[in-house]
Chain A
């Protein structure tokens, strides 16, 4: 007969010296880990609470502008540099890491309508209300000379400027869209279509020859730089303020609209938006995609920023401070960690893209714990207690009341529509989906 008893040598389970870490043998047998679901649920609840505890998104403000900030743009090659233009014609370069202004120049008479950088990061362009396009040399540290490298005087005011993703071309808009070669003083292309008062233009970062523009006749236009005529346009009920291309999916773009909503479109089918994003209670002024292409941030006339997920209709986050006024412009940093916003009260603010995220390098244990918490939040996110905690956001009184009011208006409209359908002859009043209802028409 053979007999064996469990017999452990304690030395196998104790650390050898005091400086060692404790040995923790693991056994993943589910029998040894009872109450798996309830314990995970409690952990998820704790994770959700901790997320809200650590949600402190505001990092700091960059002050120095002497008038409202009209535009901020990322520097194409340096993560720490930020370009901004103000209503008094000043262009500033900021160092975000040091949170100081590197350089400021009086670039234009009247407001600065747009700034952009060359993809190699060696010079920047600015357009202003003085009908001028100015090109400035910029050093690696962000220093620019007091005098522009070159100046082009146009026939009309330029409303916006954006640079081609790879080559030496840039586009301006105003009366129509112009494509410029950097070597020349005359545009190489000139696009017009109907009433041309275009206030925003943006190159596609992936399909670099495609560009989109927003016009004041409520339309969104698409151009191909290689062709001579515009490609398509879609007309919405109200005008769009800005347009942003998805950096990962080349055919998807989102527009910020005056009717408080954002609309995500597929370039190939403009007749119906892919998604309607709503939560703002005033016009959306600007938006920018995160480099992952899964989220975008919007600047609202209602004194707040909101972060939307691409596939969701409501925002996952709202940022506001007591002192922040109407937000004119916003951008999402290329490392997917920060958000910069420029607002009416002359400040540029720096925010975290994920409000609860811990900045700086994480130890591996720390990051695994955070990942585990994320997974738990995902798994139990639909349980009422967890969801309540995760969804709760404090908003200003104005937004709170306006949201309620808008909800009432929407419900009333819906009810009215329903009544109309019920009380009219079948087939005379058609049901229109929310997504369809905002588009007036598509033209080619």
Chain B
């Protein structure tokens, strides 16, 4: 155990940069024993060439500063061997002098003063080579300790690099400063990384061993007693199959039996919070933003209960729900209904945000992208669609499988999606370019998929759970762990901040130990498993203050902190267009009319009238042209070769 821990802990060993100067450095460090402090040493050097000649028998009396510099440069190891030898002799002499009693420090007070003055002057002149070199000699590991580039990468945000690309005249220094500051912050975070208290778990297989052979029994026997207690089975054969949901901090578990049994448990202490039967079929259960409230998708409507089991709300706006998703930062409860509606309800104010008719039938395969709050649906036609509350059409459609999609899951970074279909394929997708990364054939279509915080993927096939570690980086050869249950699986979720995978099935619930699945170090302000009541209340207020509006749900969630070049470009284009729309020149001289109708003003008015008419006609012409262009474009699109995905288009014209 301990050994594995020490191996896992990635403490970065700082190595001295200047390894070539090793020998010299040793020498100086030996000398360091005698020279009390940096300051003191510097004094002595400065005196040596001013007041006392430390090398009286040397032919080259080194009273000159430059001479000293040269010697030191030799010391750093840049000159030929013979000179180095000569220099080493000098060093030994100097050491002797340092030991001897007639140190210049013992000269009277007056000289002390002058010496001080001299040394400060010398130090002030930072460009002084001698000074620099002496510093180098004093510090065996100059500069800051190096930082592991991997850690730097971990803390670096992708959008900060764009700063360098910005080409602008004004504000460039500020941009540069901001960049420097961000880099510094990243460096500090990377440096503070080793202060994190815990290391993630895992299994280390010896040669010839396969982790997939491990049974839960083996894992329980190998780990400590508190971890072992996290593996348990709840036998609930009466009201299954069970859906389940862990709270965001991983502390609480919600179970919903299809036949109406709903229970909330503090699963670590095994304390039951509430248990009831809603006397109706339930389809899904979800915790809301805190563990005092949860939503249950029942036969007809969605209900919200508190942790005592008291019904708080009946949400008739969310009717016939099949799947629930809660977006914690937006306080939105999203439901996919059996009639094909995707509805969002703001639970902080209790109002329906949008309800979209998706155009698909049963929305029973649903998941959210935890990094940008986009909802993913899997459909019977093999497509996966991406939805936000702001757009009435899907943001993206992916044809993932040739047969119906059985499950979808998105990992925590929001970059990868796993889908599985009736065609017995398990596919991994890169959501940044919507391309398939890996494709696996499995025994049967995975009914449920779940990503853990560390990137493990769990898939359920009938009554078997398979766990894949690091599924998207490389092609998996064999599963990480396999677990067989005695009944059909109906719910699957990793517990946050724990090495636990919860499995709901028709005979109850099983909690499995998956070493290395959870994030080892939680952030107390984000999700705290050890939250007290007071902290929870405070956190709720903070969360409500920081509620992100549903309008801000987009595919790219960093868009807000970037410069909107697209709109700006469009604006500029529009403006430029306007400038070039020149007024037509009209040569019109009004006819002469009798009876005072050709006074200056009247003639001018008539002229203006004609002008206006011409302009109006012009505008009409332009609009007509535009309409014609648009029509042609759409016609062209229709005539063109059909795309594979066209068959999934809703509005066929």
Residues of A whose CB lies within 8 Å of any CB of B are: 1-8, 10, 12-14, 22-43, 46, 379, 383
Contacts and interface: CB of A to CB of B under 8 A. Distances in A.
Contacts of B202: 3-4
A378 to B, nearest CB: 10
Contact of A25 (B199, B226, B521, B557): B521
B224 A31 contact: no
Nearest to A42: B546
A29 B560 contact: no
B9 to A, nearest CB: 11
Interface residues of B, number: 75
B164 interface: no
B498 interface: yes
B558 A1 contact: no
A29 B219 contact: no
B223 interface: yes
A317 B227 CA distance: 60
Contacts of A38: 329, 548, 552, 557, 560
Contacts of B498: 6
17 contacts: A3-B515, A4-B4, A4-B199, A6-B198, A14-B530, A24-B524, A26-B523, A26-B525, A28-B192, A29-B519, A30-B154, A32-B522, A32-B523, A37-B159, A42-B546, A42-B548, A383-B560
Contact of A1 (B200, B205, B372, B513): B205
B499 interface: yes
Contacts of B526: 32-33
A11 to B, nearest CB: 10
Contacts of A379: 561
B155 A28 contact: yes
Contact of B201 (A5, A27, A39): A5
A27 B521 contact: yes
B338 to A, nearest CB: 30
Interface of B: 1, 3-5, 8, 154-155, 157, 159, 189, 192, 196-206, 209, 211, 214, 218-219, 222-224, 226-227, 230, 329, 370-373, 412-414, 453, 497-499, 513, 515-516, 518-530, 532, 534-535, 545-549, 552, 557-561
A46 B545 contact: yes
Contacts of A2: 1, 3-4, 203-204
B156 to A, nearest CB: 8
Nearest to B454: A31
A411 to B, nearest CB: 19
A30 B200 CA distance: 17
A1 B204 contact: yes
Contacts of A42: 545-549
A4 B155 contact: no
A7 B223 contact: yes
Contacts of B520: 6
Contacts of B201: 3-6
Given A3-B218, A28-B155, A38-B552, 6 more contacts: A4-B5, A4-B8, A32-B527, A35-B329, A40-B560, A42-B545
A27 B230 CA distance: 24
Contacts of A30: 154-155, 157
A373 to B, nearest CB: 12
A125 to B, nearest CB: 42
Contacts of A43: 546
Nearest to B413: A31
Nearest to A383: B560
A32 B248 CA distance: 11
Nearest to B563: A382
B524 A26 contact: yes
Given A25-B521, A32-B522, A38-B552, A7 B226 contact: yes
A7 B224 contact: yes
A419 to B, nearest CB: 16
Contacts of B223: 3-5, 7
A4 B522 contact: no
B214 A27 contact: no
Contacts of B549: 42
The CB with the most chain A CB atoms within 10 A, among B197, B198, B526, B560, is that of: B560
A5 B199 CA distance: 10
Contacts of B226: 7
Given A8-B198, A10-B530, A36 B524 contact: no
A6 B196 contact: no
A34 B154 CA distance: 14
A383 B549 CA distance: 15
